[in-house]
Amino acid sequence: MIYLDNAATTKMSEEVFDAMKPYFCEQYANPSAIYSFAGSAAKAVDEARKKTAALIGARSEEIYFTAGGSESDNWAVRAAAAFGKAKGKHIITSTIEHHAVLHTCQYLEKQGYEVTYVNVDAHGKIKLDALEAAIRPDTILITVMAANNEIGTIQPLKEIGAIAKKNHILFHTDAVQAYGHIPLNVDEMGIDLLSASGHKFNGPKGTGFLYIRRGVRIGALIHGGAQERSRRAGTLNTPNIVGMGVAAELAARSLDERMKKEAALRDYLIDRILKEVPYSRLNGHLTDRLPNNANFCFEFIEGESLLILLDQQGICASSGSACTSGSLDPSHVLLAIGLPHEIAHGSLRLTLSGETTKEEIDFTVEAIKQIVERLRAMSPLYEDSIKRGDINVQ
Amino acid sequence: MYSEKVMDHFNNPRNVGTIENASGVGTVGNAKCGDIMRIYLDIGDDGVIQEAKFKTFGCGAAVATSSMATELVKGKTVQQALEVTNKAVMEALDGLPPVKVHCSLLAEEAIHAALWDYAQKNNLTIEGLKKPVDDIEEKVKEE
């Protein structure tokens, strides 16, 4: 099997698993308990909090553990909206956010908030002038993702943070795809709230965190016990938190080297596809993109068919076609960068890991070439283009 | 998520291709929603479908339903071909996931569109055949 869907989830590393094991059946104490038996669990949670914070230049006490990225996004956006409503009810976001942010914004619109969805350019970068122009006296939150989950484009966080700060507006970033994959620093980038998810960087599923800058007084997500400084009640998930901490530590240690390795392989993949598959295009920014992300469109074919045939060759990938989104529309991200529907339906996302090899990429490129040719041979769109003389077939 | 029959017809689609000077050609669907089917029919003087070919842009179910629909109408009279409904196509494929039912409607519609084209070319009236709808999504909503 060749796993090229690391943006969907990653393999949990063995070191993470080993670190988690003692906290299921041996050190099972509630880390909030007072007796000494709970000491080991409490200490492990503290350690994890430190490691998680270190990767973004935050303080431990600014990390609030959650059950994942979507929870963190929901909490950040809803709580910031509630916190700011005395000042105003206007939120600014981008058109290419993950649904965890987009659908939360749509929910808030029903509650009487106004949301401006700022456009992105053809490479998926937010238009900073449009962002700045969207600011009103009643704007209370800017939420823009750190890097896009589909096309991998990295947003200019530092610039957005500066704009937010200048206008005294809270800045939240959904860093689910970026945390552990590219350098992030909450102070340098002026980030007030940051969401991340453990399983996107070789940690366990069902665990994430929200960074809340000290002094940002957004409300609690879950009321109950005093866990997470009374902002997110519920017994701490010790093994998962410990696992995410170790994953953060490993990610920090390997970051520079992994980024270089992944980016080199990604660029090799992009070069080969664009050179060897006619009528293909790269989606997203050529250089300001996640080191492990490649996203292509192949004209005249549809993504789900492509995925099924790749699967038959043991290759795991994903697509932004309507058939994979469960609706009739292709991905909102691909439409936002200006692709017509029929081209957006033929998208393919390949996301690498630090373990991906050149041999795997070569095998995948050969498979794609053969599958695209096969699907085009049965495509009426291809037939029409040849008849019209739009394309030349050797 | 797909039945073995669907996977078989997707992996080894029957009747892919075109027919030169076909008796009738029907194209339905649109690229916007991600499915386009084109069916070619070769119909003899006796009104029997000699050959059926297709080209499809779409998901696994779209390819499989095109393949099955062309199989089902081959050797049938025009009247019999009209009775090849989307349900018949689905049953022959051992079912489709609910979100893919529209693919079978598209296949039925493509057959009808090709028959309509044949009728137009030959000044025939085929009993029970209506002018094909352009937008299959409208039909899906009505179902």
pLDDT tens-place string over residues A55-100: 999 999 999 999 999 999 999 999 999 999 999 999 999 999 999 9
ipTM: 0.90
Q: Which residues, 6+ apart, have CB-to-CB distance to B63 below 8 Å?
A: A305, A378, B9, B10, B13, B56
Strand pairing report for A114-118 and A90-94: parallel
In the stretch 51-80 of chain B, residues with CB closer than 8 A to chain A read 54-60, 62-63
Residue A205 has pLDDT above 70, yes or no: yes
pLDDT confidence bin for B138, thresholds 50/70/90: very low
Query: Backbone phi, then psi, for A147, in 5-degree steps?
Result: -150, 140
> How many other C-beta atoms can be found within 10 angstroms of the C-beta atom of residue A375?
22
pLDDT of residue A330: 86
The answer as to whether B138 is a domain residue is no
pLDDT of residue A325: 56
pLDDT confidence bin for A160, thresholds 50/70/90: very high
Look at phi and psi of residue B125 and say left if phi exceeds 0, alpha if psi is from -120 to 50, else beta: beta
What is the DSSP code string of A277-346? STTEEE-S-SSSB-TTEEEEEETTS-HHHHHHHHHHTTEE-B--SHHHHTSSS--HHHHHTT--HHHHTT
The answer as to whether B136 is a domain residue is no
pLDDT confidence bin for B104, thresholds 50/70/90: very high
pLDDT of residue A111: 97
Residues of chain A with C-beta less than 8 angstroms from the C-beta of B99: 326
> A311 at the B interface (CB within 8 A)?
no
Task: Indicate if the alpha-carbon torsion angle A270, A275, A280, A281 is positive or negative.
Answer: positive
Number of domains observed in the structure of chain B: 1
- Whether residue B34 and residue A381 make contact (CB cut-off 8 A), yes or no, is no
In chain B, % of residues over pLDDT 70: 93
What is the DSSP code string of A243-273? HHHHHHHHHHHHHHHHHHHHHHHHHHHHHHH
Instruction: Write b or e for each residue in A300-320: b if 16 or more Cβ atoms lie within 10 A of its Cβ, otherwise e.
Output: bbbbbbbbbbbeeeebbbbbb
pLDDT confidence bin for A318, thresholds 50/70/90: very high
Q: Distance between CA B97 and CA B99 in Å, rounded?
A: 6
Count chain A–chain B contacts defined by CB atoms under 8 A.
69
- Whether residue B59 and residue A312 make contact (CB cut-off 8 A), yes or no, is no
pLDDT of residue A183: 98
- Whether residue A345 and residue B34 make contact (CB cut-off 8 A), yes or no, is yes
Enter the pTM of the model. 0.94
pLDDT tens-place string over residues B29-50: 987 778 999 999 999 999 999 9
Which residue of B56, B57, B67, B135 to mutate against A (max A Cβ within 10 Å)? Answer: B57
Instruction: Write b or e for each residue in B101-112: b if 16 or more Cβ atoms lie within 10 A of its Cβ, otherwise e.
Output: bbbbbbbbbbbb
Q: Distance between CA A172 and CA A212 in Å, rounded?
A: 9
- Going by the DSSP 8-state scheme, the letter that residue B45 receives in this structure is T
- The residue in chain B having the minimum alpha-carbon distance to the alpha carbon of residue A322 is B34
The overall average pLDDT reported for chain B is 91
- Whether residue A328 and residue B33 make contact (CB cut-off 8 A), yes or no, is yes
The answer as to whether B141 is a domain residue is no
Taking residues B92-120, report their average pLDDT.
94
For residues A323 and B15, the model is more confident at B15
- H or E element: which one contains A174? strand A170-174
- Weakest mean pLDDT among A1-15, A165-179, A282-296, B116-130: B116-130
- Whether residue B34 and residue A326 make contact (CB cut-off 8 A), yes or no, is no
The answer as to whether B40 is a domain residue is yes
pLDDT of residue A306: 95
pLDDT of residue B131: 84
Taking residues A163-188, report their average pLDDT.
98
Residue B66 has pLDDT above 50, yes or no: yes
For residues A48 and B130, the model is more confident at A48
CATH number for the domain spanning B124: value is 3.90.1010.10
pLDDT of residue B141: 47
Range of the structural domain that residue B97 is part of: 4-130
The answer as to whether B140 is a domain residue is no
Helix ranges restricted to H, chain B: 4-11, 60-73, 78-82, 86-92, 101-121, 136-142
pLDDT of residue A389: 86
pLDDT tens-place string over residues A338-356: 999 889 999 999 999 999 9
The overall average pLDDT reported for chain A is 96
Among residues A153, A184, A101, the alpha carbon closest in space to that of A283 is found at A153
Terminal-residue alpha carbon distance, chain B:
23
Taking residues A154-159, report their average pLDDT.
98
pLDDT tens-place string over residues A368-378: 999 999 999 99
pLDDT of residue A311: 95
In chain A, % of residues over pLDDT 70: 98
Residues of chain B with C-beta less than 8 angstroms from the C-beta of A328: 33-34, 137
